[in-house]
Amino acid sequence: MSDLIEIIDSLENKINKLLHKYEFMKQQNADLKEKIARLESNSELQIDQLRQWEEKFSALKNANAMLGSDEHKRETKLKINALIREIDMCIAQLSE
């Protein structure tokens, strides 16, 4: 009979340890999910900032080319030509 009690006590201890470990892992999982959400939000902010900086860089390149820099003149001319074509298409659509 004492063997049976020892086995039951052992099982009870193991179950308690498993329950404790389950609660710990559950809390750790919730913490990790929260950290993932924060990191994803931070990543989205950084992507937005990168886009803004790329737009500013492009604008600065164009301004520099217009001020007489030979470095980006060709790109600027192509962009201006593309804008002119877009404006011409808009005017053509408005005249119809």
Question: Strand, helix or coil at 44?
Answer: helix
Q: Indicate the pTM of the whole model.
A: 0.52
Residue predicted with more confidence, 12 or 73: 12
pLDDT of residue 59: 86
* pLDDT tens figures, 3-59: 888 899 999 999 999 999 999 999 999 999 999 999 999 999 999 999 999 999 988
CA gap 24, 66 in Å, rounded: 63
CA angle 80, 72, 91 (to 5 degrees): 5
For residues 29 and 45, what is the distance between their CA atoms, to the nearest angstrom?
24
Q: Assign 64 a pLDDT band (cuts: 50, 70, 90).
A: confident
